[in-house]
Amino acid sequence: MCQKWAIACGALLLICNATNAASPYDDLAFALKQQQIIQSLRAHCHIDNHIPDEKIRNLFLSEKNNHSPILLAAKAFDKKDKPGYSHAIASVRCPEIK
Span 74-92, pLDDT tens digits: 999 999 999 999 999 999 9
Residue 69 clears pLDDT 50, i.e. is over it: yes
DSSP states along 25-71: HHHHHHHHHHHHHHHHHHHHHT--TTS-HHHHHHHHHH-HHHHHHHH
Q: Judge contact between 60 and 80, C-beta under 8 A.
A: no
Tally the C-alpha atoms within 13 A of residue 5's C-alpha that lie toward its C-beta. 2
Give residue limits of the domains in the chain: 25-98
Residue 38: pLDDT band with limits 50, 70, 90: very high
